[in-house]
Structure 1
Amino acid sequence: MSTAKKQVILGAYLGGVNHHTAWWHPNAGSQIEFDSFEHTARTAERGRFDFFFLAEGLALRERAGQIFDQDIIGRPDTFTVLASLAAVTEHLGLAGTINATFNEPYELAREFASLDQLSGGRAAWNVVTSFDEFTGRNFRRGGFLPHSQRYVRAEENVEAARLLWDSWDTDDIVADKDSGRFLRRPDAGSFEFDGSQFAIRGRFTVPRSPQGRPVLLQAGVSPQGRDFAAANADAIFSPYGTLPEAAEYYRDLKARAVAAGRSPDDLKILPSASFVLGDSEADAREKYLEIRDQQVTGQTALILLEQIWNRDLSAYDPDGPVPDIDPDPDAPPIIQGRAFIHQDRFETATKLRVVSEQKKLTLRETVADQFERGPIIGTAAQVAEKIDTFVQNNGSDGFIIGSHLVPWGLDEFVDQVVPLLQDRGVLRSEYTGTTLRDNLGLPVPADPVTVR
């Protein structure tokens, strides 16, 4: 008996604050003008994507105390952009990255609930945390939250937000036949939360949305991060784009979800991926290498290594060897505002030296080889096959697709790859649901049983 193939979930992201965006390309558009966001969202909806994803940077990045020009900098407010996109799309989910460390649960829950109502049930919150003093100066007296407390605060923030979203039942607004008005039940919106990070009580102002509550997204690699995501998230961003490590991460997160009392199907695993298409595999590979070489300049390579070494490496030749000195983790951070994803500086530095020696690569070539996001490269048919094979082999439940070329790059994927995924029967030809939860195949949370 045949088994139905898994449906591929697709998210779209618009590149912004990093060197992967080809801002130097003659056809590149703006990262902050609304036309770019609108074009990407409309293109994603034309391709029957599930959602549009917006990352966020809360501080301008610095090198040795000075703003540096390696990245595109600046990003409009997330809620403003997503609310605007709700008006020019009908089905596409709208996912925003909002920091749980620096935002209070009442205002955060209210903003997402408002977006969910305005969009007809299409909002999603990508929950992120922060503990660095550099970013925290914009928000907190004293600047930072101890590393050990970041998930404590995030868990309480999510718990409090859910309490607020669930403070309304779907039948809390009733029609009054005599007056013709809609009335609120007396206790609708009442809430009280008392924790180590937040102690709040009052009445929530936004009724329950068509999808019950916004979808929660999360990323987690550490054991603590994985447990948090498995217990709370509806979807998690995977850092793995190759089998079998992606399949092991997939298995681990699904098992943690079951251990948290959830169905494994209620947690979707989604790595990000870029793509390069060509008339042949060789043509696509040639295009990719050309793009990569332009993205990773000598200066960019040194900046990326400085974040690991935490030293000034400007005296090193990008066309020379990888530095033979050790990192200095105890020195003040030379790079500020970039997420640090390397758990062990010394181990990472050693690995880069070994790769450089084994492959006979220069410093810049080593960075280009090791820091790439793992783009999907080939003809349109090959890319469609690779995506389908990856998902069917439980490397993920789908991908969040972006392009180096903003905002036009996604058009190529939608025009060439999407029809082939549809022909394979793994991507919808039309939207069948009305909310983001419908499209992702997630259950709608039941109305809470509230003691009032």
Structure 2
Amino acid sequence: MTDTSGTPRTSRKPIHLAAHFPGVNNTTVWTASPQALGSQIDFASFTHLAQTAERGLFDFFFLAEGLRLREHQGRVHDLDVLGRPEAITVLSALAAVTERLGLAATVNATFNEPYELARRLASLDHLSGGRAAWNVVTSSDAFTGENFRRGGFLDRADRYTRAAEFVATARELWDSWPPGAERARAGAFAHHGRHFDIEGHFSVERGPQGHPVVIQAGDSSEGREFAAATADVVFTRHGTLEAGRRFYADVKGRLAAHGRRPADLKIMPGVTFVLGDTAAEAQEKAAEIRHQQISPQTALLTLEQIWGVDLSRYDPDGPLPDIEPDYDAQLSQGRVRHADPRAVVASWRALAEEKGLSIRQTVIEATGRQSFIGTPAAVAEEMDTFVQTDAADGFILVPHLTPGGLDDFVEQVVPLLQERGSFRTRYTGSTLRAHLGLAQPS
């Protein structure tokens, strides 16, 4: 049930929803479906997904970004979509064709500078009427750094210390225009720190929501601590109810040490979904999607990234290779490596032996991504259970089709969440902070 304001009654936690534009990798499915005929570059694709999310009353639209095309064995990874326009540029254009939807850009804190990025984000916040967000990511990857003058300069151990100072510095710049400030001193700033030593006058007035919303994705202990100290939203990947509850309790439990309350940070795992008229139909569709995402070529390249050797002579429909992996080799550049490849190899071999799986079947089984599979009613109930039992505050939906992958969810699941009293029936605020229930910075 909802009250007359359009927000869920306080007896139930409200579910927060966001839309992730499908990624530039093999998990995006290209088929003859009318829902999958859009380009990754055409503005019409971004417009369709963003306007669908706004029709569904989502909190925000989320764009990932990479600073270099990934490579495999020295060649551009041809299973990836090659390139995408810069995120803030796309979101600035979307601000003109949406009214309430938050606009979140992924921008690297390692290869950017606070003044320049704070200015771009403040500009987006003004253009959108207070809907800007920044997903803070870091990199210690010298491969990506080759695109920059100081490529490879940052030790891995320093990436979060630089990111924390980066965010703090950006907030100092946004705060340099206090409400009612006299023109003579508006925008004056001075920051002298380990990573940044800057002073001058910030050229953009404080935005409608004070600070753009800060999003952070990181599951390591240092990433969780950074989120507890700094972020407004955590983008995580925990898929099970139990794992979600553990992560939720851990991160929320860190907030008090930083003078923050549980409500100050929203935890929103990235999830996928498959809908069907029956549970069996949904499972069948999910299996079909996984076979489309993991082609024979994809299966071999995925295995090569773990085994560290060329496996092109192996049949993807045959058994796992019996050769010993080269754990020190790195055939792929620009991808996050498994923390413990030996453990991955051992678990995949055990899985394949137990179930009699081929290479392709093993990769499909081991890398399955669908989070919620079932009828619209079952998916709505399961999502609601995650939120009401403190496994999440909401979800960032990652559809597998461009640009129509969100259509069915908005038409079939959102109304059921509204009937349960867990999701808004209309926007009641104009800024992203209002959608998320976050306080305005003083």
Corresponding residue of 1:365: 361
Corresponding residue of 2:433: 437
1:336 maps onto 2:333 in alignment: yes
Corresponding residue of 1:16: 23
Aligned counterparts of 2:211 and 2:94: Cα–Cα separation in 1: 19
Name which of 288, 311, 314 aligns with 2:312: 314
**Do 1:132 and 1:144's aligned partners in 2 also have CA atoms closer than 8 Å?**
no
Range 256-265 or range 213-222, more displaced:
256-265
Q: Give the direction of change, closer, same or farther, for the CA distance of 1:108–1:14 in structure 2 (3 Å limit).
A: same
| Aligned AA (2:167) | V
**Aligned with 1:244: secondary structure?**
helix
Between 1 and 2, higher relative CO (CA 8 Å, sep ≥ 6) is seen in 2
1:110 maps onto 2:119 in alignment: yes
Aligned counterparts of 2:121 and 2:201: Cα–Cα separation in 1: 16
Aligned counterparts of 1:39 and 1:271: Cα–Cα separation in 2: 23
Give the Å deviation of 1:322: 2.5
Aligned counterparts of 1:284 and 1:197: Cα–Cα separation in 2: 50
Aligned counterparts of 1:326 and 1:192: Cα–Cα separation in 2: 56
Give the Å deviation of 1:142: 4.3
**Aligned with 2:214: secondary structure?**
strand
**Aligned with 2:189: secondary structure?**
strand
Aligned counterparts of 2:267 and 2:423: Cα–Cα separation in 1: 16
Q: Give the direction of change, closer, same or farther, for the CA distance of 1:326–1:264 in structure 2 (3 Å limit).
A: farther
**Do 1:327 and 1:345's aligned partners in 2 also have CA atoms closer than 8 Å?**
no
1:69 maps onto 2:78 in alignment: yes
1:146 maps onto 2:155 in alignment: yes
TM-score of the pair, normalised by structure 2: 0.95
Q: Give deviations 1:201-234, integer Å, cap 9, x for gaps.
A: 1100111111110000001111111111111000
Q: Give deviations 1:44-100, integer Å, cap 9, x for gaps.
A: 000000000000121111111111311212110111100001011110000000000
**Do 1:277 and 1:379's aligned partners in 2 also have CA atoms closer than 8 Å?**
yes
**Do 1:326 and 1:346's aligned partners in 2 also have CA atoms closer than 8 Å?**
no
Corresponding residue of 2:140: 131
Q: Percent identity?
A: 58
Aligned counterparts of 1:258 and 1:59: Cα–Cα separation in 2: 38
**Do 2:274 and 2:370's aligned partners in 1 also have CA atoms closer than 8 Å?**
no
Give the Å deviation of 1:326: 4.2
Quote the RMSD (CA, aligned, Å): 1.4
Q: Give deviations 1:247-280, integer Å, cap 9, x for gaps.
A: 0000000011222221011111111111111110
**Do 1:137 and 1:144's aligned partners in 2 also have CA atoms closer than 8 Å?**
no
Q: Give deviations 1:299-318, integer Å, cap 9, x for gaps.
A: 11121222222222222221
| Aligned AA (1:240) | H
Aligned counterparts of 1:289 and 1:415: Cα–Cα separation in 2: 23
Name which of 264, 267, 270 aligns with 1:269: 267
Gaps of 5+ in 1: 173-183, 447-452
Give the Å deviation of 1:144: 4.4
Aligned counterparts of 2:157 and 2:387: Cα–Cα separation in 1: 35
Give the Å deviation of 1:321: 2.4
**Aligned with 2:190: secondary structure?**
strand
| Aligned AA (2:281) | D
Aligned counterparts of 2:195 and 2:434: Cα–Cα separation in 1: 33
| Aligned AA (1:299) | Q
**Do 2:28 and 2:402's aligned partners in 1 also have CA atoms closer than 8 Å?**
yes
Aligned counterparts of 1:323 and 1:444: Cα–Cα separation in 2: 56
Name which of 177, 197, 202 aligns with 1:199: 197
Give the Å deviation of 1:154: 0.9
Give the Å deviation of 1:391: 1.0
**Do 2:282 and 2:374's aligned partners in 1 also have CA atoms closer than 8 Å?**
yes
Aligned counterparts of 2:273 and 2:439: Cα–Cα separation in 1: 31
Range 353-362 or range 272-281, more displaced:
353-362
Aligned counterparts of 2:275 and 2:66: Cα–Cα separation in 1: 29
**Aligned with 1:405: secondary structure?**
coil
TM-score of the pair, normalised by structure 1: 0.93
**Aligned with 1:253: secondary structure?**
helix
Q: Give deviations 1:368-421, integer Å, cap 9, x for gaps.
A: 112122331111111111111111111100011121111012111101111111
**Do 1:326 and 1:349's aligned partners in 2 also have CA atoms closer than 8 Å?**
no
**Do 1:237 and 1:270's aligned partners in 2 also have CA atoms closer than 8 Å?**
yes
**Do 1:268 and 1:397's aligned partners in 2 also have CA atoms closer than 8 Å?**
yes
Aligned counterparts of 2:373 and 2:248: Cα–Cα separation in 1: 23
Corresponding residue of 1:179: none
1:41 maps onto 2:50 in alignment: yes
Q: Give the direction of change, closer, same or farther, for the CA distance of 1:76–1:159 in structure 2 (3 Å limit).
A: same
Gaps of 5+ in 2: 1-8
Corresponding residue of 1:178: none
Aligned counterparts of 2:10 and 2:421: Cα–Cα separation in 1: 13
**Do 2:22 and 2:399's aligned partners in 1 also have CA atoms closer than 8 Å?**
yes
**Aligned with 1:49: secondary structure?**
coil
Give the Å deviation of 1:148: 1.2
Match runs of 1:27-426 below 5 Å: 27=34, 28=36, 29-172=38-181, 184-331=182-329, 333-340=330-337, 342-426=338-422
| Aligned AA (1:336) | Q
Q: Give the direction of change, closer, same or farther, for the CA distance of 1:280–1:26 in structure 2 (3 Å limit).
A: closer
Aligned counterparts of 1:239 and 1:423: Cα–Cα separation in 2: 27
Q: Give the direction of change, closer, same or farther, for the CA distance of 1:26–1:402 in structure 2 (3 Å limit).
A: same
**Do 2:216 and 2:231's aligned partners in 1 also have CA atoms closer than 8 Å?**
yes
| Aligned AA (1:168) | W
**Aligned with 1:59: secondary structure?**
coil
